[in-house]
Structure 1
Amino acid sequence: MPKQYKLKGTSLDDIRVKAEQQYGPGARIVSAEKVTNPGIAGLFAANRYEATIEVPSQLAGNSCRSEGPERRQLRVSWEAQAGGEVHAAGEAHALQGPAIAALLEQADAAEMDMHRPEAVSTASPDFAGILEQLGNEFRVPASGAPTQGALTALPHAVVGHAVPATPPAAVPVPLAGSGNLVILLGLGDDALGTALELSIAGGGFDVRTAGALTAFGHLHVTGRQGATAARAQAVVTGQTVLVAYGLGRQGEAVTRAADIATLAADQLWLVVDAGRKAEDTASWVRALSAALAAERVRVDALAVFGASETGSPETVNGLGLPIGWVDGKPARVAVLGKVD
């Protein structure tokens, strides 16, 4: 009775060579499976093949050897593998070029079938739910219901009483998680000090530099490829990537918008000095924010330093961004108060 074995290799041709070396020319490939490792964000992706080799009983007895990492001697029935492997149609293929090509095409076709999205049936409950949701969005309101923008009178019971204030904005915090990318934008080297403070408070981030800022002991991120590589390394180390991005001088900040957008940050912070003139800070912050908006990038939070060294730190509130970090510590509220 023929015996069956499992072999792995980078290609079916590689498996064929191994089979002939271990079991002789009478060995045949009877089934094959293509295994794909997607890697991390496309990095380190690789393919390999696993095949079932059938060897006549007389040859199997002569070529039986000790087990090693390259060969596991398993008895496998054809029916037991029907649900988990890609089988070659028809009779077992001999270990020749045309048969190998046919097995490769069948493995690729089976893989495409596994990843093909399932069609949505118009008779399914999910399809009906989608139609109902679309209908609710475009349904005209009833005649008795007030339309948007219409004025409605307040109930008599609340006239003369104070209206509850809007809840204060939530204080933003640095985004944590393995492989996440957080960028701090600052003039000169302003962003580096804040990045190191956030790293210490967060238990140790992977602090790097970018833009016009470089620092000894910190890797420099350049372009989308550099950002992706930094993410991949952070996934391995279980860290968040914190990039201190130097904007250069005040007039150069707006020219960095396109480069910042290519880094595709998960969270974007601005670092500002509360001791600088409010008009000067507002000028470059608004110009940079507008340029980033044109690149479809949004600034999420503000980090402030020098607040304790000025009598009017509240001027940074005019930038319109929630404050999450002040003078080396997490902010208690998203806006700064005036110092009396």
Structure 2
Amino acid sequence: MPKRLLLEGSDIEELLSQVRDEHGPGVSIVSADRVRTGGFAGFFARQRYELTVEVPDPAERPAAPAPAPPAAPTGPAAAADPMTALLAQAEEQERRLSLTGSRTGSPASASAPAPQRPAAAAPSVSLNLAQAVPAQAHVPTHAAAPAAPAAPAAPAAPAVPLVPEDFVVETGTENRAFADMLASLQRDGDTGGTGALLARAYQPPAVAPAAGPERSGAVVPRAFQPPVVEQERPFEQALTELGLPARMARQAVGSDMYTAVKRALAGLAEAPAPPRGAGDVLVIVGEAHAALHVAEKAARLLNVGPAQVLLAARSTAGTGIHNTRLLNGPRSAQQRARKIHRDNVPYVVVVDSTPEQGNGEWSRAVADALGATAVWAVVDATRKTADTARHLRTLGKVDAIAVNAVAATGDPASVLDLDIPVSYLADRPGTAPAWAALLCERLEEKQS
């Protein structure tokens, strides 16, 4: 009973020699395949060959038939395409074996009409697999290729065999699918009729254009942005401790103390000048003695005498003001206003009012009765800014403030949080240079 063997190796010629040496010339080759193993994504793979042979039983092994010249197609087509010659010889072998009742004949070959010949006279078709099959293809045993024309009965000269005559390729149903695939590759117009696959240039996939650089992921160049260099502010913390608002202390840039303080005070609002028109009234609200001190400076600035300085309070005791210049309330202030507005010089009126007295509404009524042209308030720098702001709100509209007791506090600049122009800073006008001199003096004291 015949048996089938599977042989593997890296060289087809060595496998054929091994079959000839071990099993003799009667062995039948069922299939021959080239297999690629290993590698990654088709690269670096190793190739080997698998050869399936059928070895007949020694008792049933027939005697080797007499060699006969193989029928090979003539003409330029056969010389140019060895694969076509291989397929034609396989078809001829299949046809002959089907007529002699071979055990491996296919139905397709049995249906082909051919003149019957004795089984003993059937010649064997020798095929050289290593030369006739391209390196890129497997060896087919059955293909749907057009059959070559039959060789003449008595050729003039024997053709040179393609392979040794010791091997017989039998056709079967195992490799029909592969043979059909190979035949379709041969019919493909891109192969150029040689059976070899042509390499094609790589075509990258088309990418639809995006709507903008943000979608496509492209890097959009941006304008150069210079690095932000933090400016030196060595006096910011110290000025904040002196009561200067943080928004102003932030502007004290630079290593020079006076320059940095001037920059911090650059946005300081200037106090309006005291009214000096005929019949104008400047009302100064505050503690009586401190307000009278500011009133004397304003009177000298307006070039008016003591007769034009009035006091609105409960009493003139300890003030040095004559009773004829006393206004004891809104009614008295309204009566005196008729004369003031007819006069040709301005007047300065001091209104005694402090947060402790809680008479802010009374002071406001006196200023309204006098028809005040401007209202100044004298504030104590030692008092909390929040308490001072609450008292000033009861006075109505305040045009400027005069800061008193500056030397007695550690944060004299806290009154700048009131957002009211400073008319007097202690004994001098509350200008930006006056504030800069005061703050620089305090900074030097901190550093010493």
**TM bucket, shorter chain:** 0.3 to 0.5
TM-score by length of 1: 0.43
Bigger relative contact order, structure 1 or 2 (CA pairs below 8 A, ≥6 apart): 1
Which structure has the larger Rg?
A: 2
**Between structures 1 and 2, the one with greater strand share:** 1
TM-score, length of structure 2 as denominator length: 0.34
